Structure 1
C-alpha cells in the first residue's frame, strides 16, 4: 500500500499508462477486442496500492470515464449515448467493487494473492455488469431483441457474456501481474538509486 510520495507517483504513473493503453491502443468499436483491456487490473491495483480511501476508488472510475470518452471520440460509428450504455452504472459499480477487493485481498503482494485478486475481480465484473445490462433492458446480440425479463432471460444474458468474461480474465491476470511486479521493480530501483546517491554525497 502506498505510504509515501514516490510510491504514489509510481502507482499513478502505471495507472495513467494503462489508462492510455485502453484509450489509445484498443479499438473503440471492435467487438473482438472488447474486454481485452487492463480496466479491472487497474481497479485491483489502485485498491491495493493507494492508501487514501477516496483516491483508491476515484482513480479507476476516472480512468474508466476518461478512456470511455476517448474511445467514443475514436469511433465515429458510436453515438453520444455510447458513454451511457445500458447498465453503465453497474459497470462503474463493478469497478468500485474491484478496488475494494484489491484493498482486502492484496494488502500483501504475492503470486497467489495477485492471481486470486485477478480472478475475483474478473468474476465480479462479469456478473455485476451482465446483471446490470439485463436489468437495463439489454439486447441479445444474437437475436437483436431484448432479453426476456425472467430467470431464463437473466441466465441467457450471463451465458452470452461468458466469451467476454474469458477475455476479461485473461487480460486481468496478465495486467495484474505486470502492474504489481512493475511497481515492485520500480520501487526497488528508486530506493537503490536514492541509497547510492546518499552514499556518493
Structure 2
C-alpha cells in the first residue's frame, strides 16, 4: 500500500531530474497523490462503472489542480478571469490526458481481468474426496 505513493512519485522525480523541474511541479505531484487516493477507493469498489468514473475523476482532478497551479504561480492575472483563462488555455491538453487515461485504464484493468479469466480456465480441477 505504501508503494502506491512511493513508486509513482519516485518515477516522476527521476524523470524530472533529467527533463527538468518547473515551478508548478508541486501541483502535478499533488494531483498524482490525489489520484492514488482515488485508486485506494477503487480497490474496494471494483466494477466497470467505478473504474471508468475514477479514470474520469483523475483526469478532471489533474486538469483542475494543475491549471489552478499555473494560475497561482502568476502565469495569468490573479483574478477570477485569470483563473478562467488558465482553464481555457488548458483545454487543448485535456483531451489527450483523458484519452490516455482511458486507454491505459482499459489496458491495465482489462488486461488484469483477461489474465484472471485465463488463469482460472487453465488451473487444474480440485480432486473430490
Task: With the length of structure 1 as denominator, give the TM-score of the two structures.
Answer: 0.56
The aligned residue for residue 24 of structure 2 is 87
CA shift digits 1:115-148 (9 cap, x unpaired): 101110000000001111211223xxxxxxxx11
Please state if 1:177 is matched with 2:125: no
Whose Rg is larger? 2
For 2:118 and 2:55, the matched residues in 1 are separated by 26
* Residue 192 (structure 1) shift: 5.3
The alignment covers a number of residue pairs equal to 126
The one-character-per-residue Cα deviations of 1:58-97 (angstroms, maximum 9, x if unpaired) are 2221232233345x2xxxxxxxxxx321210010000000
**C-alpha separation between the residues in 1 aligned to 2:11 and 2:82?**
32
Q: Which residue of 1 aligns with 2:69?
A: 132
Aligned position for 2:52? 115
User: TM-score, normalised on structure 2?
Assistant: 0.83
Q: Is 1:63 aligned with 2:16?
A: no
Cα distance in 2 for residues equivalent to 1:55 and 1:163: 32
1:166: which partner in 2?
A: 95
Check 1:137–1:84 CA distance in 2 against 1; reply closer, same or farther (3 A cut): farther
The structure carrying a bigger helix percent of its residues is 2
Q: CA deviation at 1:188?
A: 4.2
Relative contact order higher in (CA < 8 Å, ≥ 6 apart): 1
Q: CA deviation at 1:173?
A: 1.0
Q: Distance in 1 between matches of 2:118 and 2:17?
A: 35
> What residue ranges of structure 1 are gaps of 5+ in the alignment?
1-51, 73-82, 139-146
Report the secondary structure of 1:85's partner residue: coil
In the aligned structure 1, how far is the partner of 2:83 from the partner of 2:10?
29
Q: CA RMSD in A?
A: 2.2
Q: Does 1:154 align with 2:98?
A: no
Structure 2: give runs of 5+ residues left out of the alignment.
Answer: none
**Equivalent residues in 2 for 1:179-194 (5 A)?**
179-190=108-119
| CA–CA separation in structure 2 for the residues paired with 1:85 and 1:134 | 14
